[in-house]
Structure formats: C-alpha cells, structure tokens
C-alpha cells in the first residue's frame, strides 16, 4: 500500500493513497458521527445537516457551490449513515485545490439560512415519503426499530416528518459543534495526489475547525433485543427479513460472520440462492448479509417472494441455517475468501471506493489495514469455527422478524422461535 498518514497540529488526520497512473482524485471528509449521535430531540438532524451544508456559505450561494464544481467537470456529494457522515468530491488532479476549498467552505462556513432550511425540510419530507412507499426500505427500517427497540441505533436515519419540521438553525449548529471536531474527522484522498501538498492545502483551509466538542457527543451502548414487526400491504410480493445479533467490528467473530454470510447467501452459488431460488423457485430474491457497528452487529437473511410461497419459504431458510450449524465445506470457505479478495482488490481500482475504504478503516481501527493483513484474518477461519458460530448465532439468540406485504400466511413468532430453539436444533441434528 502506498498510503501515508499525517496528523496535523490542529488534530485533523489526513490520509492519502497515491495512484500515479490516474488523472483524477477522489477526496472527502469523513466524520465519526451519524444518526446514532443525535439526542431524542435531534432525530433526523444529522441527515438534515448533510443537506444544508450545500445550501450556501458566507462565500458562496447554493448555486455557486454546484456551478463551481461542475464547471471543472467534478462531482460533489455527501452521505449520512448510522455512525458516520461523509462529504466527498471527485475531480481531475489539477482541481484538487478547488475541491478542498469547497469541502472546507461547506463544513466551516455554512449559513443555515432560514429560507433554505424551509425548502430543504420540504425536500426531506418528500424523501421520507418515498422511503415509506418502498417496501424493501420499510422492511429494513422496521427491522432496526424492533431489533434495537427505543434506542438511537434503531431509529430511521431520515427522522420523522414531525421532528424534521421542528428543526431550527440553532439546533443544527449545536449538533455541528458537538460532533464536527478535528478529533473525530478524517480527510482522505486517493488517486493522482501528492501527500505533502495535500496536507498543506487541508491545513490551510480547515484551520478554523474546532478541536474539542462543545459538549460530550451522544452515543448509547447498543442493546440487541429482537422481536417482530409485521405490516400487511396490498402488494404483489412480500418482503421478509429474518435476523440475529451479529458481531461488532472489533470482535473475534466479525470476519467469520462475513464469510458465513457469503456462504449462506452471498451470490448465485450460495446455499440459499441455490436451494430457495434455483431448486425450489420459492422467491426471486434471497441473500444473506452481516453488518458490523462499533459495539454490535446484524446478521440477516432477506427474501422477496409472492404471498403464496411464504408457508414453504421460511421453513426452508431455517433448514439451511440448521445445516450450516452442522456442516460447512472447505470448498465453500475457499470460494467465499476468493469472492471477498476479488471485491477488495477490484474496489481498490476505483479511487472513490478506495478513499471510502481507507476512511472506514481509520474510523474503526485508527490505521489503514494492509491487504495481506485482511487476508490473513480470513485465512484463520476454519469449518469448525463456522459451524460453531452458526449454532450460537442462529439457535442461541433471539431472532428479529420484519415483514411487509401479503404476509397473512407468514409463520407466527412463537412457531419461528420454537423452530430456532437450541433444543429443536439438537433434536433435528440427532434425527438427521
């Protein structure tokens, strides 16, 4: 890796990876703060702030910001997640100073004008409405709410219409001063970039960022609870999400969980795809995933199917989970490792993907992780570890079930819990 890291006197961390063969640079600012760092009265404000950052500064109007980046053929955007927020750009190498200037401007000089705020609230209300009209969005939002009932980590990132409409500029500034500080921010660039020159540009333009928060950042310790949520809708298909508490980034079984998700439902050769879709034709989409957070995780199986196939679908999925607790084949591990390695290396051919990857590693681990170290972690995963993890993950924890659509025939939670109980698993293993 040609990665360089510098901590500026201000406390801001700058990381670059030079890709000399490119003509472009992907760069951005990643903040260790997201929807999880909101108070009860701030639900949705992290996402609103991300929108408002582009709506005018002391030096530029909203139109100026858009025109200046597009005048040089560049792109400027942002994203809010549960634990992070990012503001990023992609430009040709000659225009890196402009991109740095724009990013610094929107993060240090935003006006949060009342009229712009009123308009942007309306835009976000439309965004909330669109999400509520999208069943595969709804099923994931409802899942999180139940899995982490009453906690910030379980709340939808967009917020609620009532809360979003209530926000004033002062609340946005309070959230900003509490979370957007140099000890929680990373400026990352990948592509045709010179590290020393880039550091000087960042140091000069981001000099006014506060070093310490105005108040202690909010973040409760996550408590996975589990349960169910069902919403009957008149739709052509049903969205079903079955999940369990996964592993946090720093836990021993994190990478093991990533491999297991890949084996169960990571592609067309995965167990769920082959058995549920190809062999039985019970759904048009089925996959498994594992999401890690700083102190918890989610292991889930998502399926989209017609209502008439639901009675057969869920038992088949549970049977595949039971089989995973009995037997994992060495060939499946090799295939999963190969897929993860390919995704890792292919992603590094994109400067934007690489900048995001480095930023996540800095936020989670405090350093860039070399490829060989990542692969060594995967190499240590054995069939015995995977079957042991499967048994603990699927049969020793409370499941979470979220379903939207024509789900009248969906198994009851009591039946589901009984099928996933340790005793049932042991009985079926003995019989099988």
* Enzyme catalytic residues: 50
* Spatial distance between the Cα atoms of 137 and 140, rounded to a whole number of angstroms: 6
CA distance 241 to 217: 32
**Among 219, 228, 217, residue whose Cα is nearest residue 149:** 228
- Cα separation, 206 vs 105, in Å, equals 8
Whether 37 contacts 217, CB under 8 Å? yes
Give the bridge partners for 13, in sequence order.
7, 186
Contact 310, 410 (CB under 8 A): yes
Structure token pair of residue 239 = 């969205």
- Name beta bridge partners: 290: 299
Q: CA-CA distance, 405 to 305, in Å (whole number)?
A: 10
Give the span between the Cα atoms of 184 and 11, in whole angstroms.
9
Residue 269: partners with Cβ closer than 8 Å, 6 or more residues away: 335
CB atoms within 10 A of CB 171: 17
Rounded to the nearest 10°, the torsion over CA 404, 408, 410, 412 is 110
3-state helix, strand, coil in the chain (%, to 5): 50, 20, 30
DSSP structure class, residue 224? -
Instruction: Write out the two tokens for 72.
Output: 């040089």
Indicate the helix (H) or strand (E) that contains 177: helix 169-179
- DSSP assignment of 317-376 equals HHHHHHHHHH---HHHHHHHHHHHHHHHHHHTTSHHHHHHHHHHHHHHHSSPPPHHHHHH
Given a contact cutoff of 8 angstroms between Cβ atoms, the answer to whether 282 and 312 are in contact is: yes
Q: What is the C-alpha to C-alpha distance for residues 54 and 164, in angstroms, rounded to an integer? A: 18
């Amino acid at each position: 890796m040609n990665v360089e890291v510098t901590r500026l006197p201000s406390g801001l961390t700058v990381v670059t990876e030079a890709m000399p063969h490119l003509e472009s640079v992907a760069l951005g600012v990643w903040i260790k703060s997201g929807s999880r760092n909101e108070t009860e009265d701030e639900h949705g404000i992290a996402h609103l702030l991300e929108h408002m950052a582009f709506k005018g500064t002391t030096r530029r109007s909203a139109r100026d910001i858009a025109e200046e980046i597009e005048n040089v053929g560049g792109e400027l955007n942002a994203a809010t997640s549960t634990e992070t927020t990012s503001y990023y750009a992609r430009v040709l190498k000659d225009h890196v100073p402009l991109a740095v200037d724009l990013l610094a401007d929107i993060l240090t000089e935003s006006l949060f004008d009342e009229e712009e705020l009123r308009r942007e609230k309306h835009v976000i209300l439309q965004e909330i409405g669109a999400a509520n009209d999208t069943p595969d969005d709804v099923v994931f939002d409802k899942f999180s709410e139940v899995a982490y009932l009453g906690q910030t980590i379980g709340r939808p990132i967009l917020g609620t219409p009532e809360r979003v409409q209530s926000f004033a500029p002062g609340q946005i500034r309070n959230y900003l001063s509490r979370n957007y500080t140099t000890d929680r921010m990373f400026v990352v660039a990948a592509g045709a970039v010179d590290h020393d020159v880039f550091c000087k540009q960042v140091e000069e333009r981001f000099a006014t960022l506060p070093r310490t928060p105005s108040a202690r950042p909010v973040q409760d310790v996550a408590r996975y609870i589990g349960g169910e949520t069902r919403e009957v809708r008149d739709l052509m298909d049903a969205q079903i999400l079955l999940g369990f508490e996964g592993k946090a980034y720093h836990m021993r079984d994190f990478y093991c969980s990533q491999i297991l998700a890949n084996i169960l439902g990571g592609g067309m050769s995965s167990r769920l795809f082959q058995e549920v879709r190809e062999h039985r034709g019970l759904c048009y989409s089925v996959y498994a995933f594992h999401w890690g957070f700083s102190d918890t995780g989610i292991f889930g199986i998502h399926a989209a199917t017609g209502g008439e196939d639901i009675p057969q679908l869920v038992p088949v999925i549970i049977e595949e989970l039971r089989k995973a607790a009995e037997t994992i084949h060495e060939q499946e591990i090799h295939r999963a490792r190969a897929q993860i390695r390919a995704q890792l290396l292919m992603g590094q051919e994109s400067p934007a993907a690489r900048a995001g990857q480095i930023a996540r590693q800095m936020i989670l681990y405090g350093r860039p992780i070399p490829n060989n170290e990542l692969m060594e972690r995967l190499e240590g995963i054995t069939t015995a570890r995977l079957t042991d993890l499967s048994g603990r993950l699927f049969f020793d924890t409370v499941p979470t079930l979220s379903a939207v659509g024509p789900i009248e025939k969906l198994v009851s939670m009591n039946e589901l819990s009984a099928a996933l109980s340790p005793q049932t698993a042991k009985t079926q293993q003995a019989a099988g």
